[in-house]
Amino acid sequence: MDTPTTALEPRDVAYFQRGAWENPRFWSRLGGQPDLASKTALDLGCGHGSLCIDMAKAGAARVVGVDLNERLIRFAQQNLQRNYPELADRVEFHCIDIADLPEGDFDLMTSKDTFEHVMDLPKVLRDMRERLKSGGRLYAAIGPLWNSPFGDHDTVKRLIGVNIPWAHLWLPDRLVLRATAKRLGRPLQSYRDLGMNMLAFRDYRRIIHDAGFVVEFFQPNCSRHPVVRMFSLLRHLPLVGDYFVNNLYCILRKP
């Protein structure tokens, strides 16, 4: 007898489908998709699994998606089986901390819009480096960064209904967190309890440069949006520059 299956939730399907325009943008901001034919790849913070499917379609021999969110991994697995059965022998999704993944020998790694949610980024970068081949590259997109206009990932907007730039930085934390805790029905001590690591651009710069990789590409404010282009000038201002870094794209090579 077939195991009973549940329908994929429309909100998850819609999020997964955003990959159709987000993935090409991810690669183009990083100088184009590398040759993936016969490569092994790991995506950290794979979420719904869209980038993993993208890499398998591009010819990768094995793609491993890891994420800490059980619900998203369940979606990614079911979506793979139902909608991409032809890729199922080359793609796997695991709800696992990368530290618990047996040491691997991946040709490349990706991480899209995830590092701003990783609580111990130096450790995760170390764990990634250990599982990457010598000469292998990590392609990462980070953002929105905490100090950027909407670095709270809409926490304030969900309370007041409008997006006010930088509101999370001047509204008292305890007001926002108390109201958000009430809305979610769980206690919150800090924005970190909502999954944001609150790192500033200067923190990423230090952590990335100390992580034991060769930094091949390091580009803040990747976007054609006119406001973000203006930020590229403002980010050089002394003292307040970090507030004008919206995102960060980088390519790191293991020596």
Ligand X SMILES: C[S@@+](CC[C@H](N)C(=O)[O-])C[C@H]1O[C@@H](n2cnc3c(N)ncnc32)[C@H](O)[C@@H]1O
Query: What are the two backbone dihedrals, phi and then psi, of residue 166, each rounded to the nearest 5 degrees?
Result: 60, 10
Angle of helix 19-29 versus helix 10-17 axis, rounded to 10: 30
Stretch that binds ligand X, among 74-82, 117-125, 167-175, 219-227 (CB under 6 A): 117-125
Cite the beta strand spans of 39-86 per DSSP E. 40-44, 62-67
Q: The tokens of 109 are what?
A: 């790694």
CA distance 98 to 104: 10
Nearer residue to ligand X within complex by CB, 53 or 176: 53
Beta-ladder partners of 8: none
**How far are the Cα atoms of 42, 63, 78, 81 from residue 84, in angstroms, in the given order?**
18, 13, 10, 6
| DSSP 8-state class, residue 188 | -
| DSSP 8-state class, residue 149 | T
> What value does the CA radius of gyration of the chain take, rounded to a whole number of Å?
19
Nearer residue to ligand X within complex by CB, 38 or 83: 83
Smallest distance from ligand X to CB 75, Å: 10
C-beta neighbour count of 87 within 10 angstroms: 17
Smallest distance from ligand X to CB 99, Å: 9
Task: Out of 56, 118, 145, 211, point to the residue binding ligand X (CB under 6 A).
Answer: 118
CA distance 104 to 12: 30
Nearer residue to ligand X within complex by CB, 157 or 241: 157
CA distance 65 to 140: 14
232 forms part of the interface with ligand X (CB under 6 A): no
12 forms part of the interface with ligand X (CB under 6 A): no
41 forms part of the interface with ligand X (CB under 6 A): no
Please name the amino acid found at residue 210. D
145 forms part of the interface with ligand X (CB under 6 A): no
- Under rule CB under 6 A, how many of the chain's residues touch ligand X? 16
Nearer residue to ligand X within complex by CB, 66 or 199: 66
Smallest distance from ligand X to CB 41, Å: 13
Nearer residue to ligand X within complex by CB, 46 or 60: 46
Nearer residue to ligand X within complex by CB, 96 or 214: 96
Nearer residue to ligand X within complex by CB, 38 or 189: 189
Site for ligand X in 121-140 (CB under 6 A): 124
Task: Out of 62, 90, 112, 137, point to the residue binding ligand X (CB under 6 A).
Answer: 112
Smallest distance from ligand X to CB 68, Å: 5
Task: Out of 53, 72, 91, 138, point to the residue binding ligand X (CB under 6 A).
Answer: 72
152 forms part of the interface with ligand X (CB under 6 A): no
| 56-73 exposure pattern, b = at least 16 Cβ within 10 A, e = fewer | bbbebebbbbbbbbeebb
What is the binding site for ligand X (CB under 6 A)? 44-47, 66-69, 72, 98, 112-114, 117-118, 124
